Chain A
Amino acid sequence: MSAGPITRRGFLGRTAALTVGFSLAPLARAFAQSAAPVGPKLPGSLQTNRNLDGWLRINPDGSVTAFTGKVEIGQGIVTALAQIVADELDVDLARVTMISGDTATTPNEGVTSGSRSIEDSGAALRAACAEARAILVETAASKLSVPASSLRVENGVVSAPGGGRATYGELTSEATFKREATGQAKPKPPSAHRFTGKSIPRRDIPAKVTGGPAYVHDMRLPGMIFGRVVRPPSPRAKLISVDEQAVRSMPGVVAVVRDGSFLAVAAEREEQAVAAARGLDKTAKWQQTPSLPPTGRALFDHMRQQPSQTNVIGEKSESAPAAVKTLAATFTRPFQAHAAIGPSCAVAHWENGKLHVWSHTQGPFPLRGELAKALKIPPSDITVTHREGSGCYGHNGADDVALDAALCARATGGRPVKLQWMREDEFRWEPYGSAMVIDLQAGLDANGNVVDFRNELWSHTHSTRPGESDGVNLLAAWYVKDAQRPGTARNIPQPAGGGDRNAIPLYVFPRQRVVNHLLPDMPVRVSALRTLGAYANVFAIESFMDELALAAGADPVEFRLRHLSDPRAKAVIETVAAKAGWRPGARGGDGRGRGIGFAKYKNLATYVAVVAEVEVDRESGEVKVPRAWAAADAGLVVNPDGLSNQIEGGVIQSTSWTLREAVEFDGTRILTGDWANYQILRMPEVPTVQVTLIDRPGEKSVGAGEAAQGPAVAAIANAVANATGRRIRDLPLTAGRVKAALT
């Protein structure tokens, strides 16, 4: 559909057909991590993990071990949390050891996702450590017989004015933190922080630049062997026959696992496992069934026609002048891949019927629950320990490979198995970010202000993680003989939203209606890719804002500012415009242009505005983004350099999604299988990104790992329109598509 006036009748005709019958209450429960506890409301994950000793331990030498259920996925969270712990306890950063993501030792904080770790775990550790410090100071006060208020703490040593002193190690007994948090201790004001707010170097980087054991891929256990899987050629394929015997006699082969349509091998050496997997693949005969949707434009028509769960997520009808000009446009986004550089990997070890899995999962506890369902053993017989992997950017193959490794290791007589996917396993079987189609319509009054706004979108779910649903959300479980079903598709409810994340604009529009259609069927496997629906929704809304500004004869920056009431939103836009030297009303030309994009991630977290500069080659249609500027407000900044790194990375990753990326498939098979047919942005093509942070010490710290991608795609799309005079509403902005738009 192209932009232009549409009839009122046509618009109502579509919206009037909505059926609204989707209750949010059971969903909210489904997504909660555990049942509501009794007692005071405690900050972050302290609410669901209420005992202080679950969060920290003072060792006899006075050093601190702190525990978090969140995990390092390259975002620097473990360093940021250590900063918080050191500040609240008044100990040096070097004396804080962090233990993260282990079902045997750490709190259950669900999944490390949604840029929530600072809010969940950071808030919990801040409160728990503040309370622990208060307990230690009280204990010191009675021991030294002085009032607590007279005591000072420095690097874990409590001193009285008269010279009395006691160390944290001396003040701590077994029982000290065996108690429920009260939430009564007051965390420090930002002015008293020594580490929070500083660019502390990340703890994980030295091993990563020297070849230290940094990843699950680097694990070596005694007797460990190597595993590989042989996946079907297409999602609905069933195994008919395979020559297992021939493979069993190949060099080094320890086990061949055949269970329904699940095939795996284990061998003494890694290259032997690879060869054995190829051997199995060569003789395997499959029955294939077409199950994938149409491609190209037909995909989006198909999506609109699918049965859907429809929900009006935002409605406003305030009095305002009538619209004198109406615009409508449709925006699309294809299926896109996480495309980790390192294929997913896990180590599994069975001992006396109990399973230990080392995994780069984002959720050790949810994975344990899902493995228990898949393997039909109690969760208490499984330990899941997090080890870092290649960056995941959401729910990729990390959890699936853990089940693959567990199934494979069950056949090796107790020898641990390290199983890594091959490149094409990763591309063909990871769950993708869902394709989306978004219809927008808006009306401008005589003064060029938006008075009506309508958004209607169609998307599959963006969340099929382990632990989120009925069924079993692990790949191999659907292919074994005693197969289980994937969980029912659900949408993460507003205000965070899933497919509809950021579908409700932050702009103040007097009349507004936002409608989300969740397509429960999942012919293409989908789940959380960084930002969920926000990438496409911000692309659509922010592109449309520029179209409306153009129709109103307004500058895009001024047009945005006049429709915003939130001062923090305005500040990031004004800041980025100033840094980029934005010239109001500047026309692009000669294939050069600039554009702006803005969003407050989830309408709950970090505010980001991005200005992108593009060069469009009119001959080839190739788009280059040489430079981008970003301004971000994430509340109180814990680690400025870490935050900048996340924003820079978000802009670059989004540039790659935006210019290059779409998963390809035919009716039966996923065709994307390697980097030759899934191109990502390369070093010569990436923009130079300049980030400006707005620190708000009085505001709570919010996550930023996914905050820049939406504003970045919008800025690029708007810059292309500015440069060429043509609006492209379908992603990605490949050379072919741009060229077609220009001719």
Chain B
Amino acid sequence: MAITLTVNERRRTVPAAADTPLLYVLRNDLELNAAKFGCGMAQCGACTVLVDGKPVRSCVTPAAAVKDAKITTLEGLGSAEKLHPLQKAFIDEQAAQCGYCIAGMLMTAKGLLDENPHPSEADLRLALAGNLCRCGTHGRIIRAIQRAAKEMSP
């Protein structure tokens, strides 16, 4: 009972059953904190990670289903010492209150900007429609992603 996954460009083998939700493998086996349990039903987006560059809900994705894919979590974008432009923009805009939704917002934004480097505000809002925020930080999140988009492809 072991699965080998490629997470943040590293091959990792974990002692998990094939149907284990990817989220629990990331959080508990690999000790990656960013993806969060929010609903377990793909309704809120707090658990979003990239699978082959596309935003995916890790809470309903069986680990075995992504064993041949490249999985990227927020930790794979950058670190506190070496921030990704998106992370830096979220700090610059102070785009968090409780912050529980933020990792999911960032990964969805990364997926969007990789596909559409110059999204309009309407594109951006639509791309994030499946990511719930309860504190009301939406405006800052939009501003932060716009700031990062400018920085990443001027």
Assess A652 versus B138: contact at CB under 8 Å? Given A209-B102, A220-B31.
yes
Residue from B28, B43, B126, B134 in contact with A684 in the complex, judged by beta carbons closer than 8 Å: B126
Residue from A74, A212, A217, A650 in contact with B80 in the complex, judged by beta carbons closer than 8 Å: A212
Say whether B66 faces chain A, with CB atoms less than 8 Å apart. no
CB contact list, A197-253 vs B, under 8 A: 199, 201-202, 204-215, 217-218, 220, 226, 251
Residue from A214, A226, A270, A675 in contact with B99 in the complex, judged by beta carbons closer than 8 Å: A214
Assess A420 versus B37: contact at CB under 8 Å? Given A211-B103, A675-B44, A683-B138.
yes
Which of A48-56, A386-394, A715-723 is the interface stretch?
A386-394
Residues of A within 8 A of B28 (CB): 226, 269-270
Residue from B34, B75, B91, B140 in contact with A645 in the complex, judged by beta carbons closer than 8 Å: B140
**Structural contact, B80 and A388, CB atoms closer than 8 A:** no
Say whether B73 faces chain A, with CB atoms less than 8 Å apart. yes
CB contact list, B99-136 vs A, under 8 A: 99-103, 106, 122, 124-126, 128-136
Say whether B41 faces chain A, with CB atoms less than 8 Å apart. yes
CA distance A580 to B2 in the complex (A): 60
CA distance A648 to B136 in the complex (A): 7
**Structural contact, A209 and B96, CB atoms closer than 8 A:** yes
**Structural contact, A683 and B131, CB atoms closer than 8 A:** yes
CA distance A208 to B36 in the complex (A): 11
**Structural contact, B99 and A211, CB atoms closer than 8 A:** no
Residues of B within 8 A of A212 (CB): 33, 80
The listed residue with most B CB atoms (<10 A of its CB), out of A209, A212, A215, A343, is A209
CA distance A334 to B128 in the complex (A): 28
Residues of B within 8 A of A684 (CB): 122, 125-126, 129
Assess A341 versus B38: contact at CB under 8 Å? Given A208-B99, A209-B99, A211-B33.
yes
Residue from B39, B75, B91 in contact with A674 in the complex, judged by beta carbons closer than 8 Å: B39
Assess A682 versus B38: contact at CB under 8 Å? Given A208-B102, A271-B17, A650-B136.
no
CA distance A215 to B33 in the complex (A): 9
Assess A207 versus B80: contact at CB under 8 Å? Given A270-B24, A675-B44.
yes
Residues of B within 8 A of A656 (CB): 136
Assess A683 versus B24: contact at CB under 8 Å? Given A393-B134, A674-B41, A689-B139.
no
Looking across the interface, which residue of chain A has its beta carbon closest to that of B130? A682
Residues of A within 8 A of B31 (CB): 220
Residues of B within 8 A of A215 (CB): 33, 36, 100
Say whether B4 faces chain A, with CB atoms less than 8 Å apart. no
Residues of B within 8 A of A211 (CB): 32-34, 73-75, 103
CA distance A597 to B137 in the complex (A): 21
**Structural contact, B94 and A202, CB atoms closer than 8 A:** yes
CA distance A648 to B87 in the complex (A): 21
**Structural contact, A649 and B125, CB atoms closer than 8 A:** no
**Structural contact, B74 and A341, CB atoms closer than 8 A:** no
Residue from B16, B102, B131, B135 in contact with A649 in the complex, judged by beta carbons closer than 8 Å: B135
CA distance A211 to B133 in the complex (A): 17
Looking across the interface, which residue of chain A has its beta carbon closest to that of B126? A684
Say whether B61 faces chain A, with CB atoms less than 8 Å apart. no
Say whether A25 faces chain B, with CB atoms less than 8 Å apart. no
Say whether B53 faces chain A, with CB atoms less than 8 Å apart. no
Looking across the interface, which residue of chain B has its beta carbon closest to that of A270? B24
CA distance A675 to B43 in the complex (A): 6
CB contact list, A157-216 vs B, under 8 A: 199, 201-202, 204-215
Say whether B79 faces chain A, with CB atoms less than 8 Å apart. yes
Assess A649 versus B39: contact at CB under 8 Å? Given A270-B28, A271-B21.
no
CB contact list, B1-38 vs A, under 8 A: 16-17, 20-21, 24, 27-28, 31-34, 36-38
Chain B nearest CB: distance from A206 CB in Å? 5
Say whether A676 faces chain B, with CB atoms less than 8 Å apart. yes
Residues of A within 8 A of B21 (CB): 271
Looking across the interface, which residue of chain A has its beta carbon closest to that of B127? A683
Residue from A209, A210, A251, A649 in contact with B97 in the complex, judged by beta carbons closer than 8 Å: A649
**Structural contact, B139 and A388, CB atoms closer than 8 A:** no
Say whether A135 faces chain B, with CB atoms less than 8 Å apart. no
Chain A nearest CB: distance from B101 CB in Å? 5
**Structural contact, B80 and A208, CB atoms closer than 8 A:** no
CA distance A686 to B121 in the complex (A): 12
Say whether A680 faces chain B, with CB atoms less than 8 Å apart. yes
Say whether A641 faces chain B, with CB atoms less than 8 Å apart. yes
CA distance A651 to B46 in the complex (A): 22
**Structural contact, A649 and B137, CB atoms closer than 8 A:** yes
Residues of B within 8 A of A206 (CB): 80, 91
**Structural contact, B100 and A341, CB atoms closer than 8 A:** yes
Chain A nearest CB: distance from B14 CB in Å? 10
Say whether A150 faces chain B, with CB atoms less than 8 Å apart. no
Residues of A within 8 A of B87 (CB): 209-210
CB contact list, A661-682 vs B, under 8 A: 674-676, 680, 682
CA distance A642 to B96 in the complex (A): 10
CA distance A393 to B40 in the complex (A): 22
Residues of A within 8 A of B142 (CB): 683
Chain B nearest CB: distance from A495 CB in Å? 27
The listed residue with most A CB atoms (<10 A of its CB), out of B100, B124, B131, is B100
Looking across the interface, which residue of chain B has its beta carbon closest to that of A427? B39
Looking across the interface, which residue of chain B has its beta carbon closest to that of A709? B136
The listed residue with most A CB atoms (<10 A of its CB), out of B27, B32, B36, B142, is B36
**Structural contact, B134 and A339, CB atoms closer than 8 A:** yes
**Structural contact, A209 and B136, CB atoms closer than 8 A:** no
Looking across the interface, which residue of chain A has its beta carbon closest to that of B75? A211
Chain B nearest CB: distance from A677 CB in Å? 10
CB contact list, B53-112 vs A, under 8 A: 73-75, 78-80, 83, 87, 90-91, 94, 96-103, 106
Say whether A423 faces chain B, with CB atoms less than 8 Å apart. yes
**Structural contact, B140 and A648, CB atoms closer than 8 A:** yes
CA distance A73 to B44 in the complex (A): 20
Chain B nearest CB: distance from A419 CB in Å? 12
CA distance A641 to B103 in the complex (A): 22
**Structural contact, B98 and A201, CB atoms closer than 8 A:** no
Residues of B within 8 A of A342 (CB): 36-38, 46, 100
Chain A nearest CB: distance from B127 CB in Å? 8
CA distance A343 to B39 in the complex (A): 8
**Structural contact, A674 and B43, CB atoms closer than 8 A:** yes
CA distance A500 to B30 in the complex (A): 50
Residues of B within 8 A of A645 (CB): 94, 97, 137, 140
Looking across the interface, which residue of chain A has its beta carbon closest to that of B82? A210
CA distance A269 to B17 in the complex (A): 10
Say whether A19 faces chain B, with CB atoms less than 8 Å apart. no
Assess A653 versus B135: contact at CB under 8 Å? Given A210-B80, A215-B100, A341-B44.
yes
Residues of A within 8 A of B90 (CB): 205, 209
**Structural contact, B20 and A208, CB atoms closer than 8 A:** no
**Structural contact, A210 and B24, CB atoms closer than 8 A:** no
Residues of B within 8 A of A565 (CB): none
CA distance A716 to B103 in the complex (A): 31
CA distance A648 to B122 in the complex (A): 20
Q: Can you list 5 residue pairs at the A/B interface with Cβ under 8 Å?
A: A199-B94, A205-B94, A212-B80, A645-B137, A676-B43
The 9 closest A-B pairs by CB, nearest first: A652-B136, A74-B98, A391-B98, A211-B34, A649-B136, A208-B99, A390-B100, A74-B97, A683-B128
Chain A residues within 8 Å of B, Cβ to Cβ: 73-76, 199, 201-202, 204-215, 217-218, 220, 226, 251, 269-271, 274, 339-343, 388-393, 420, 422-423, 641-642, 645-646, 648-653, 656, 674-676, 680, 682-684, 686, 688-689
Chain B residues within 8 Å of A, Cβ to Cβ: 16-17, 20-21, 24, 27-28, 31-34, 36-41, 43-44, 46, 73-75, 78-80, 83, 87, 90-91, 94, 96-103, 106, 122, 124-126, 128-142
**A-B contacts besides A209-B87, A269-B28, A391-B97, 6 pairs, CB < 8 Å:** A270-B28, A341-B100, A388-B98, A682-B129, A683-B128, A686-B139
